[in-house]
Amino acid sequence: MGDRLKGKVVVVTGAASGIGAGTAERFVEEGARVILADIQEGPGSALSEKLGADTRFIRTDVTDEAQVAAAVDFAVSEFGRLDCMINNAGIVGAVGPIHETPRDAWDATIAVLLTGTYLGAKHAARVMIPQKSGNILSISSTAGMAGGLGPHAYTAAKHAVIGLTKSISSELNQYGIRANAVAPGNTATAMTADVITGDPQSLSGAEDAIASMSPLGIAGVPVDIANALLYLASDEARYVSGHCLLVDSGQLAGGTPAQFSSADPGLIREAGGRN
């Protein structure tokens, strides 16, 4: 237990699983009070019960502006303020060759990964500007920094998240609000386990596969990304804004092969679900 975030109120979207769940747990350990905002009601409620009185769960579809606004308002009503918004909710989304990518799958991907981030930033700023303080953190990806590392819609959205982060930083810094992004590399979550092993429950299989590709010989796990977010959320990063922090074992420096352009067209949703 620590106190690097003591007294801070945080909203984490996509908090019921994967990087979001790891971030919520890590932030509570450091003294934060956390709103767990996720479309997955069962896992989200269970995590809140596990983490205790410093958390609340609210069902949140990040593509629905009213629900994102409600999550932000819930933080203020429950804990009195909002210090940090973490736009983490994500899906792999549309996969397949560009000439076969379905339009509805493309739109659904952009809605979660980019529009959801915009809505989180919008409603966080609504609360933070009058406070004259705050911190907006968004999850990009190594696929947001290079081509060939993710599906086309995912890659486009994650590049855009970095651009949006820089843009809102340039606007909001005058109010004492910092905006930064984190770009994870391969990280063992249900979503990546589904992509790598075909089984979203096979986290150990995903870890083994990721470790075999890692320049450092180890797998990234949610707490690795949570620790990067923790630094950016803390006062230790008080002079950092408009930045994207890459957390990928050095893999992007060496390059990795494309994985998704030959996949069967479709849509991969939260926690590895498909339709």
Report the C-alpha dihedral over residues 138, 273, 187, 5, rounded to 10 degrees: 40
Structural contact between residues 52 and 33, judged by C-beta atoms closer than 8 angstroms? no
In the set 8, 17, 48, 158, the catalytic residue is 158
Q: CA 60, CA 91: separation in Å to the nearest integer?
A: 15
- The one catalytic residue among 17, 138, 140, 141: 141
Provide the strand spans (E) within 61-197.
84-87, 93-95, 134-139, 177-184
Instruction: Judge whether 212 counts as a catalytic residue.
Output: no
**What's the Cα-to-Cα distance from 73 to each of 9, 145, 176, 245, 263, rounded to whole Å?**
12, 33, 20, 28, 40
**Homologous superfamily assigned to 9-272:** NAD(P)-binding Rossmann-like Domain (3.40.50.720)
- Among residues 17, 118, 154, 234, the one annotated as catalytic is 154
User: Can you give the residue ranges of every domain in the chain?
Assistant: 9-272
Told to judge if 158 belongs to the known catalytic residues of this protein, a careful annotator would answer yes
pTM of the model: 0.90
pLDDT in tens, the chain (275 residues): 789 999 999 999 999 999 999 999 999 999 999 999 999 999 999 999 999 999 999 999 999 999 999 999 999 999 999 999 999 999 999 999 999 999 999 999 999 999 999 999 999 999 999 999 999 999 999 999 999 999 999 999 999 999 999 999 999 999 999 999 999 999 888 778 788 888 778 888 888 888 888 889 999 999 999 999 999 999 999 999 999 999 999 999 885 545 555 567 777 777 666 66
Residue 138, both tokens: 């968004």
Q: 141 an active-site residue?
A: yes
